[in-house]
Structure 1
Amino acid sequence: MENDALMVENKLGALWIRFPDSITLDNSCDIEWIIKENFKDQMGNVVLDFSRINNLYSSGLGLMIRIRKYVNERGGILCIVNIAERLHEMLNALNLDKVFPIYKTDVEYEISQDDLWKKKYNEHNQFLFVSQLENNMYRINISGEMVASQDLSACIEFTPLESVNIFVLDLSSLELVDSSGVAILKKLLLKIGGNNKLCLAFGANQLIRDALVVLLDASGFLTFYDDEKSALNEIMRLAGK
């Protein structure tokens, strides 16, 4: 199945997804919909083929994290193959190599399949905190379970540049927050909030949104939007004033 150079096929015993040359806000929803159409209740490996990807932006990172959640919930493992060295280094810097098995070639992936299941890559509730500076704004993805039993150090240690005034939080894959997570999230919001700072969040389910508003009084300095496009449109609207 193809859509604007997206290809989904069965290859080497896996659902093989070859991305187009870039993933943007405009095409990420369509790509996600097509991929989900090929998911089954129980899955094995799913492979993201990066052979055509030249650049990876926050929309692409968010898509990868959401796909990983869907795959792992169905018992599968999401892998990355044929990735350029520059993008591989970027994923390593974001610590995403710890949650995505990454292979340079198809052959390397094929001979390593037996090791995948030994490394617990399919823990869908694993906490992830990914921050990326893009167009002079921080794009932050918070996913999994933000609870005491998880390693929350990436969120605790995040230190933004003083010169950046816009923060966009993707909470679409955040599943659970306990009291420890709430305390750390509150410190994060206090760290990135303040005068002339704009903090927006999108994708949070209603339960997470209600909890954050009540427990953090988040309504005072964090505005919620249903999706990424709505949040970014608001930034553009404010910039045009």
Structure 2
Amino acid sequence: MNLQIEMEHHRGVLIVRLSGELDHHTSDMVRMQMDEAIQRRQCEHIVLSLKNLQFMDSSGLGVILGRYKLINQKGGEMAVCDVNPPVHRLLDMSGLFKIMPIYDNEVNALTELEVVS
């Protein structure tokens, strides 16, 4: 299965929606597209929506952690939302939720980042 990536900017937040599989075959593409969007738009925060992500491996974790570090160094925050059970389990086992908040949906994530219009 392939990976689809949809990005939207909302009041200084890069919203990234991933569908499909984030693995060693697709992680470089996601990394490059997110880095380009962060640099081009000067985003303050990132919301990563994983509602339609069916699979993720350690390469995907690396992409998420790398973008977290990048936005954190700029003084921003990164949040994850809409995580399905198999991906949630991987993120939980990795300890990601100790450094990054998880929300039920994009609206809640944006509300917590105080950027809802």
Task: Give the alignment's TM-score, normalised by structure 2.
Answer: 0.81
Partner in structure 2 of residue 8 of structure 1: 7
Q: Which entry has the higher C-alpha Rg, 1 or 2?
A: 1
Q: Which runs of 4+ in 1 moved over 4 A?
A: none
State the identity as a percent.
Answer: 23
| 8 Å CA contact 1:12, 1:110 repeated in 2 | no
Higher RCO (CA < 8 A, seq sep 6+): 2
| Structure 2 residue matching 1:6: 3-state secondary structure | strand
Q: Which structure 2 residues correspond to residues 63-82 of structure 1 after superposition, within 5 A?
A: 63-82=63-82
Q: Count residues in correspondence.
A: 111
Amino acid at match of 1:46: I
Partner in structure 2 of residue 154 of structure 1: none
Distance in 2 (CA, whole Å) between partners of 1:42 and 1:70 is 12
| Higher share of residues assigned helix | 2
Partner in structure 1 of residue 22 of structure 2: 23
Task: Give the alignment's TM-score, normalised by structure 1.
Answer: 0.42
Alignment gaps of 5+ in structure 2: none
Q: Could you say what the CA RMSD is over the residues aligned between the two structures, in angstroms?
A: 2.0
Partner in structure 2 of residue 62 of structure 1: 62
| 8 Å CA contact 1:43, 1:74 repeated in 2 | no
| 8 Å CA contact 2:19, 2:54 repeated in 1 | no
| Structure 2 residue matching 1:66: 3-state secondary structure | helix
Distance in 2 (CA, whole Å) between partners of 1:23 and 1:90 is 12
Cα deviation for residue 33 of structure 1 reads 0.8
| Structure 1 residue matching 2:20: 3-state secondary structure | coil
